[in-house]
Structure 1
Amino acid sequence: MMALLRSRRMMILLVAVVTVALVATGAVGLFNAFFAQQAGDQREAGAPIPAPEMAALGDAPDDAEYTDLGQQCEQRECYRVVAVTHDEARDGEEAVEAVYQHLIDEGWGRILPEGAEGPDDAPLSDTYLTNGSVLVQGSTSPYTPGSTAGLVIAHMQDPLS
């Protein structure tokens, strides 16, 4: 048996088998790591979080009506689009300001645009409103025929996320 192990052919065959085994094991490990990373990325991405429900806005102000235009999602973020219709003939800016004032009266807070030093530096319709968990952005352009303005509602997120 020792003579067989000392033969040059057997040593070459043994080195070849060990080398193939090492390469195959390394390749399997690389493939497993690669596919585990992809699965982890997909889990982190996950399904998008649904947009806030219309109930987050509460009741519409007097002389106004909200119409839910549905949820829309982009990558991991979903938001709800809402058309605002006023019984009175108002332009989009007046409609957004009326809704904003109603929400402020209900306890919502203003988020000023970048560069504004105080509430007087920005028109109400250029700001965002939040109740701490939901963010509302008004649009002075109507979203549907017959509507006066629009709103987009989304969950508040950390600016770094």
Structure 2
Amino acid sequence: MAEFTQNAQRFDPYKNFKFRLKWDGQYVAGISKVSPLKRTTEVVPHRSGGDPSSSRKSPGRTEYEALTLERGVTHDLEFERWANKVWNFQAGPGVEVSLADFRKDLILEMFNEAGQVVLGYKVYRCWVSEFQALPELDANANAVAIQSIKLENEGWERDVDIPEPSEPTFTEP
């Protein structure tokens, strides 16, 4: 496990616009938005018959919220290829799902302003539950066409092997 040291020079929190996502050992091109990593643990109220008229609470099941990834429409087929592993209309009856490899583990990395990796999260056993190939098309609009995938997952954890970096400093000549 990595040892964390506090960067006494860093006052500002990290920004949310420098990140990269990796699956199958490769960075995925063009991802412009990732929904929050969020988990919720169910609250189970209980009380004993002899207790006063108040209940106790204990943790129940934990659910991990699906991730949504967005990127501009290009000729890159990574979103579509993965979505087709879960449901491929052209595959024929009985072979629509690629059970051997429709799940993937992801690595989400955040960077500081200097381009150094500062945080990483491993997201486990993801699969595509929703694929949007094209957005609504509008001849009167002036926007980038965005495609998206929604990824169900079975949990995530912080990559504690990523240490807080020593941030660069500039010296004057």
Query: 1 or 2, which has the higher strand percentage?
Result: 2
Q: Determine which structure has the larger helix proportion and give its number.
A: 1
Scaled by the length of structure 2, the TM-score of the pair is 0.30
Structure of higher CA gyration radius: 1
Bigger RCO (CA 8 Å, 6+ sep):
2
